[in-house]
Amino acid sequence: MSTYTLLLLRHGEGAWNKENRFCSWVDQGLSPDGLMEARTAGRLLRERDLQLDMVFTSVLSRSVHTAWLVLEEMDQLWVPVVKSWRLNERHYGALIGLNRAEMALQHGEQQVKLWRRSYDMTPPPIEASHPYYTHIYNDRRYSVCDVPKEELPRAESLKEVLQRLLPFWEGSVLPEIRRGRTILISAHGNSCRALLKHLEGISDEDIADVTLPTGVPVLLQLDEELKPLKPRELLGDQEKIQEAIRKVEEQGRVTGQRSS
Ligand SMILES: O=C(O)[C@@H](COP(=O)(O)O)OP(=O)(O)O
């Protein structure tokens, strides 16, 4: 029986992850720690002797840059990279740019947890008056998508992320996996969570407890039916990974990091 290897990776820490702001479709670069995380992820994959055949990324610089650094560390810079907006982070709508701890103070921690982790709650949509509306919709990268700009999301639940992601998964990624290719998907916390939900059959309730830290490769071994053969493996120092997960969860607490 053939088995397939798939790696999911949330990009290294971005500037706004550090500031505890919803980054979403804003094109922020990696922070100095994020650059290191991406290189560390590459070294971990190299130590495992993994040979990548193809990489898929979102069209956001933090996931593209992470993929480059991983490939460089693996000495596999030649590997083809395909980019799609369908792997972008969840569109956080009107919440984009806002600080999670301040939102928790204003709206309560429970509301922020629902916005961040519930499966089917869509945050309020981004309006044309939003400070980052032009930054997003006037960006040339969204003029070359497989849907007209007007049809791109204005806010998304995790469910909606999965819906926009599936056509790309089925049309572009799955055929490569079925050909036995080892694939890395360098994407985002919520686009990776949506894929994990799909692949592992995680319930709408239980997906709320799945958190991915930045820069930690997730190794999946799939059978011929694309079902996981064993539990997902988060690569790296397990204590540090647990600590990083706890930090991501606490970003939505009132005591989480505030804007200075
Ligand atoms: O949009 C963002 O700020 C984070 C996710 O935020 P949370 O869902 O964890 O609040 O996405 P990423 O850093 O993976 O691109």
Q: How far is the CA of 23 from the centre of ligand 1 (A)?
A: 6
Domain extent for 244? 4-250
Q: How far is the CA of 92 from the centre of ligand 1 (A)?
A: 9
Measured CA to CA in angstroms, residue 155 lies from 35, 46, 70, 116, 191 at distances of 28, 37, 30, 12, 14
Q: What token pair was written down for 153?
A: 């999301």
Q: How far is the CA of 94 from the centre of ligand 1 (A)?
A: 14
**How confident is the model at residue 256, as a pLDDT?**
75
Strand, coil or helix: what is 185? Answer: strand
**How confident is the model at residue 2, as a pLDDT?**
67
Give the per-residue SS3 of 47-79: HCCCCCCEEEECCCHHHHHHHHHHHHHHCCCCC
Reading the chain (260 residues) residue by residue, the pLDDT tens digits are 669 999 999 999 999 999 999 999 999 999 999 999 999 999 999 999 999 999 999 999 999 999 999 999 999 999 999 999 999 999 999 999 999 999 999 999 999 999 999 999 999 999 999 999 999 999 999 999 999 999 999 999 999 999 999 999 999 999 999 999 999 999 999 999 999 999 999 999 999 999 999 999 999 999 999 999 999 999 999 999 999 999 999 999 998 777 75
Q: Where are the beta strands (DSSP E) in 115-213?
A: 183-187
150 belongs to a structural domain: yes
Domain count, the chain: 1
CATH of the domain at 110: 3.40.50.1240
Tell me phi and psi for residue 88, to 5 degrees. -55, 160
222 belongs to a structural domain: yes
202 belongs to a structural domain: yes
203 belongs to a structural domain: yes
Q: Which residues contact ligand 1 via a Cβ below 6 A?
A: 10, 14, 17, 22-24, 89, 92, 116, 188-190, 248
Q: What token pair was written down for 21?
A: 């702001």
| Residue of 59, 66, 89 to test ligand 1 pocket, by largest number of atoms within 8 Å of CB | 89
256 belongs to a structural domain: no
Q: What does pTM read for this prediction? A: 0.97
Measured CA to CA in angstroms, residue 128 lies from 139, 149, 195 at distances of 14, 14, 30
> What number does the ligand 1 atom closest to the CA of 117 have?
8
Strand, coil or helix: what is 5? Answer: strand
**How confident is the model at residue 260, as a pLDDT?**
59
Residue 55 one-letter amino acid: V
71 belongs to a structural domain: yes
53 belongs to a structural domain: yes
138 belongs to a structural domain: yes
